[in-house]
Amino acid sequence: MLVLPMVWRAGSLDRRFAGVPRSLVVLDRQGELLDARIASDTQWRFPDLTDTLPTRYLQAVVAFEDRRFFWHPGVDPVGIGGALRANANSRSVERGASTLTMQVVRLSRANPPRTLGEKILEAILAVAVEVRHSKKEILRAYASHAPFGGNTVGLEAASWRYFGRGPAALSWGEAALLAVLPNQPSLMHPGRHRDALLAKRNRLIASLRDQGAMDSLEAQLAMAEPLPGPPPPLPRLASPLLQTLHEEHPRRAAFPTTLDASLQSRLLEELRNAGQGLRRQGIGNGAVVILDNKTGFVIAYAGNVPGADTASSGATMDLVRARRSSGSILKPFLYEMLFEGGELFPWTLVPDIPTTYAGFLPENFDRTWKGALPASEALALSRNAPAAKLLAQAGVGRFHSRLRSLGLSTLNRPAESYGLSLILGGAEATVWDLAGMYARLSADAQTLPAWNEARLLSDPPKRSDLRPRFSPAAAWWTLETLREVNRPDEDKFWKDHVGSRPLAWKTGTSNGHRDAWAVGTSPRWTVAVWVGNPDGAGMPDIVGRDAAAPVLFRVVSLLPPDGWFSRPVNGWKMVEICPSSGRPAGPYCPVRDPRAVSDVPLHVAPCVYHQTIMVNAQGRRAHDGCANGSALEPKTVFSLPPEQAFFWNNSHSDEPALPSWSPACAPTDEDRLVIAYPAPGAKLYLPRDLDERRNPTVLRAAYTGKGKLHWHLDGRYLGATEQDHQIPVVLAEGEHTATVVDGSGRSVQRTFTVLSP
């Protein structure tokens, strides 16, 4: 009774070839080889990439090695008899009797010496293998482990190494060559044995013709095929990706992916060319991912820039998965969240003024303030101060959760530890995550299936791979804001760069100019780009708009144009909007513009910036108590809070300004002068330069009047300002009081504290 279990175990091919090292291979979506790594025993031994052997090779190997393979039980009695007669007549070993099954057993035993005892054992084990496995499985085992010359083992590796394509595409001449080669693999040597190998191959082709496997013309063409030369290098189109996949799936050897080999090759060539210019700017490397938004498939993946050959440049790293400072690349998702919650419209004015948060002053990239600007413009210009203000109002914890739900996998700290820096580069991101997040934005706008992350391996999707869809209206608004044709005047030169194809795109630059980002998305494609130095070295030219964006548009040009997003049909309602403030119209708004907004409960307060005042014949503000019988008439004006009005950009100053009071009517408590920075009770942490000297702090005031302002600090006169009311001062630690006085003697004070760095 113990015999059958022993035979069953002995015949297991999985057990017999267990532990045989395999090469690592990555394939594109059509099965084309993108990259490979040699096995640990220095053999090119590919894993099985398909379930079936190609018919031409199957016919050729059976005809050459074992014509009665499909009829014998592992041992061929007819073959043994013929071998005995042939060898007896010649008194030497002229002919063997090994079947393909016996050869599989021999390969599994690492080719021991050819003795009579070994032959008997091979025959016994061959029968056991036949009991356990189908003929198809035995042929597969032979094709996977047969030697093909040099350090090439198995049909898959031999086909790719010698002919540059998979076995399914082999010609008759190529299939016949690979059928005869394992019988004497030493013949596959450049410059030697070529005639013997050619004759051996052609004899097999003639035999196949005689058996009816091919006609005479096919045989003639097959014999005319030249033998392959020295094996060319295998493709090297995805080496960093192959390393990452191996680390993520250490038990796998074959990685069929969703990549497109042609696009992958063109992407690497484009990056190789771009890398020359980047290196001249002191930028060592970069990474790019291209996604198909319709399917969620990654169709091209560049882990680094070809030609980045120094240690500091990360030449062998997969920088797509590297964690880098996010800069401002996450801002669109804050605006999308607020659009979706009914807390913001693209036209809503948001403050752009200096504001401190527990000693932290978010500054814009150009170190200026505009007072207020529409949310869409604040996002398109990537203004830091409005983004910080909106995040403070929305809550860091809420945005932290939103980013994680969108697929940002690098948030490994509590929300409070990031604070407002979460929106300004305090978090880390990867090219991989950002590509998926922007692709989901595109998918939401089109109500397409949204995936938890980008799909790279060709494994069947699961229901858990899908995530809930967010508001199509909010996504569409965000993409419209990021569309290049809506860029402000200073960014319009990008139209010449990208051509007429529309693209929603965003850039980002990390603090210290260490990382530059650019991500673009359209209805069909998403491209995510990072450039920088993997060792963290900063350079002035590492700026998203100047370094990463040109790479983005070069890559986008490789893709077919695909139009623009259609506005979602559903999910809207009509609301009367004040065009000046971008809020629901208030009682004094002179224009009420019906606009479609997201059909959610609205939390945008009505406009309070329009008010109706009385003016005299000179256009000055007045009231009945001081008019002295003069006729007054009502006038509607647009008036921002003083701290915003002071920085209000001229491009938005077409609204009628709040006129000054008539001298006889001016109230003594008119609030025309405020200190804009620091905030009341602010605690400032002032950093030192490298030489330990304190940096100056710029005090700022908002003044709606005319004339000079006079500045005092702790009773000490600092000087006067006119028009641009800001003054730098070096502050010592401790509490300070700033006093500002206008020309009429009116003054305001602000107390704040300077803490140790």
Q: Which residues are known catalytic residues? A: 65, 328
CA distances 215 to 54, 476, 618, 743, Å, are: 18, 62, 106, 107
Q: Which residues contact 390 (CB under 8 A, 6 or more apart)?
A: 334, 335, 338, 344, 350, 375
Alpha helices in 91-154 (DSSP H): 100-108, 116-132, 135-145
In the three-class reduction of DSSP (H, G, I as helix; E, B as strand; rest coil), residue 661 is classed as strand
In the three-class reduction of DSSP (H, G, I as helix; E, B as strand; rest coil), residue 688 is classed as strand
The separation between the first and the last C-alpha atoms of the chain, rounded to the nearest angstrom, is 83
Give me the phi and psi of 681, to 5 degrees please: 70, 15
C-alpha triplet 382, 385, 388: angle, nearest 5°: 95
Q: Which residues contact 757 (CB under 8 A, 6 or more apart)?
A: 685, 686, 687, 688
Report the number of secondary-structure helices (H) and strands (E) in the chain: 23, 27
Beta partners for residue 735, in sequence order? 753
Integer Cα distance of 264 and 439 in angstroms: 19
Q: In this structure, how many other beta carbons lie within 10 angstroms of the beta carbon of residue 39?
A: 20
Beta partners for residue 712, in sequence order? 717, 739
In the three-class reduction of DSSP (H, G, I as helix; E, B as strand; rest coil), residue 301 is classed as strand
Judge contact between 283 and 203, C-beta under 8 A. Answer: no
Q: In this structure, how many other beta carbons lie within 10 angstroms of the beta carbon of residue 191?
A: 7
Judge contact between 278 and 305, C-beta under 8 A. Answer: yes
Judge contact between 36 and 254, C-beta under 8 A. Answer: no
In the three-class reduction of DSSP (H, G, I as helix; E, B as strand; rest coil), residue 705 is classed as coil
Judge contact between 64 and 96, C-beta under 8 A. Answer: no
